Amino acid sequence: MGRVFETYRAFHEQGFIPIFVKDDLDTRVLLEGCLQAGMRVIEYTLRRPDAHKMIPWIRENHPDLHLIVGSTMEDDQIVAQRRREHPQLLTLGELDSIGVDGFISMLGWSLESIRQYSPTRLVVPAAWTVTEAFQEMGAGAHFIKATGAGKLERARSFRALPTFGYCPIMMTGGIRTPEHVREAFEAGAVTVASGFDVTLQRSRDVTSSEVANAMRTFLESAKGAREAAWPKLAEAVGGDRQVWLDALPHYHPF
């Protein structure tokens, strides 16, 4: 199944994904904290001004880390124009050539782009309606991102009985506390993500040990929330591949 399956499983099992957003925190301190906490997956967004420098650096220096890039846009012309004001922007093709492990977007991707990249990269587009989510999953998306106002209600609609439980949900936005993690899983999420500006509640001067401690708290919160919401899946974490796949409470492409 290759690297894309390894990324998929690591992303799913980690349960909480740290997001490198635009903030005043030191990138390498944040990264070191994640590694100290035992994280195998991070989301590095193109909102971060050093993205065009740090994404290749992370790929080269931490080849075992599953590096997912967020805030991606699939239209090369839009990226090229916006790069004039945001020089850190990279196209999907450029990111693919660097060897990143996947793409996340707050935008809904075209079905063509999903089909192009999902065989080799984790693809997590956003959806705002059940129909969008269904079509994106059918094209090969691995998870659907639920974010913004009304995300809990949206997640519940994606998991409603008439959908037959097809949708795997990654929830972002406002995940500030362990209680928010629990609410997300109860609403139907199978993994959650949040930026350091939210989880650390600090604007600067943080140590890698402080980052690691905060990340461990959220990892444990996700683990507990999974055990409560998806007990069969929790039992399969770290186990045999087919047993784990059979325990997934949603559609998967493997």
Q: How far apart are the C-alpha atoms of 33 and 13, rounded to whole Å?
A: 19
The strand ranges marked E within the chain are: 16-20, 41-45, 66-70, 102-104, 122-124, 144-146, 169-172, 189-195
First to last CA, the chain: 8
SS3 106: coil
Predicted confidence (pLDDT) per residue in 187-207, tens digit: 999 999 999 988 897 667 899
Residue 1: predicted pLDDT: 61
Query: Is 3.20.20.70 the CATH number for 2-247?
Result: yes
Of 231, 247, 237, 229, residue with least CA distance to 156: 229
Instruction: Report the phi/psi class of residue 148: left, alpha or beta, with left for phi > 0 and alpha for psi in -120 to 50.
Output: left
Strand 66-70 relative to strand 16-20: parallel, antiparallel, unpaired?
Answer: unpaired
Describe the crossing of helices 178-187 and 208-229 by its angle, rounded to 10 degrees: 30
pLDDT of residue 174: 85
CA distances 243 to 12, 150, 235, 250, Å, are: 14, 34, 10, 14
Query: Assign residue 150 a region: left if phi > 0, alpha if psi is -120 to 50, beta otherwise?
Result: left
Per-residue pLDDT of the chain (254 residues; tens, 9 = 90+): 689 999 999 999 999 999 999 998 999 999 999 999 999 999 999 999 999 999 999 999 999 999 999 999 999 999 999 999 999 999 999 999 999 999 999 988 999 999 999 999 999 999 999 999 999 999 999 999 999 888 999 999 999 999 999 999 999 998 888 899 999 999 999 999 999 988 897 667 899 999 999 999 999 999 999 999 999 999 999 999 999 999 999 999 99
